[in-house]
Amino acid sequence: MKNASEGSPSIPTRLGWVAFLNDCSSEVVARALPLYLTASLGLTPAFVGVVEGLAEAVGILLRGFSGWLSDRMASRKPLVVGGYALSTLARICLLAINVPILFGLARVFDRTGKGLRSAPRDAMVADAAAVGMSGRAFGITRFLDTLGAMTGIVVVLLVGVGPGTVDEETFRRCVMIAIPFGLASVALLVFAVPRITRATKAKKYIAWEVPREARGYLLAVGIFALGNSSDAFLVLRASELGYSFQEILLLMLAFNGLAAALAIPVGRLSDRIGRLRILVLGWLVYAGAYLAFGLVESTTGFAAALFAYGAFYGFTDGTEKAMLADLLPPEKRGTGFGSLQLVLGVAALPSSILTGWLMTAYGSRVAFAVAAGFALCGTLALTRREIRAKMEPASQPPKTSDG
Q: What is the number of H-type helices and E-type strands within the chain?
A: 14, 0
Q: What is the largest CA-CA distance in the chain?
A: 69
- With 0-12 / 13-18 / 19 or more C-beta atoms within 10 angstroms meaning exposed / middle / buried, residue 6 is middle
Give the C-alpha separation, 240 to 213, whole Å. Answer: 44
> Range with the lowest mean pLDDT among 98-112, 177-191, 294-308, 330-344?
330-344
Give the C-alpha separation, 3 to 229, whole Å. Answer: 39
pLDDT band at 41 (very low <50, low <70, confident <90, very high): confident
Q: Annotate 146-173 with b (16+ C-beta within 10 A) or e (fewer).
A: bbbbbbbbeebbeeebbeeebeeebbeb
Higher-scoring residue by pLDDT: 373, 58: 373
> Range with the lowest mean pLDDT among 260-264, 359-363, 366-370?
260-264
Query: For the segment 238-254, what is each residue's pLDDT rounded down to a tens digit?
Result: 999 999 888 998 898 88
Give the C-alpha separation, 268 to 53, whole Å. Answer: 34
The answer to whether 282 touches 315, Cβ cutoff 8 Å, is yes
- Predicted confidence (pLDDT) at residue 95 exceeds the cutoff of 60: yes
- Predicted confidence (pLDDT) at residue 199 exceeds the cutoff of 60: no
- With 0-12 / 13-18 / 19 or more C-beta atoms within 10 angstroms meaning exposed / middle / buried, residue 261 is middle
Chain centroid, CA 201 distance in Å: 28
User: What pLDDT score was predicted for residue 58?
Assistant: 78
Region 94-103 average pLDDT: 87
210-214, 269-273, 389-393: range with highest mean pLDDT = 269-273
User: What pLDDT score was predicted for residue 403?
Assistant: 37
Q: Annotate 71-81 with b (16+ C-beta within 10 A) or e (fewer).
A: beeebbbebbb
Nearest to 107 by CA among 174, 44, 173, 56: 56
- Predicted confidence (pLDDT) at residue 28 exceeds the cutoff of 80: yes
Give the C-alpha separation, 291 to 296, whole Å. Answer: 9
Percent pLDDT > 70 in the chain is 85
Nearest to 237 by CA among 301, 308, 286, 316: 301
pTM of the model: 0.74
139-148, 203-212, 352-361, 378-387: range with highest mean pLDDT = 352-361
How many CA atoms, within 13 angstroms, populate the side-chain half-sphere of residue 6?
Answer: 10
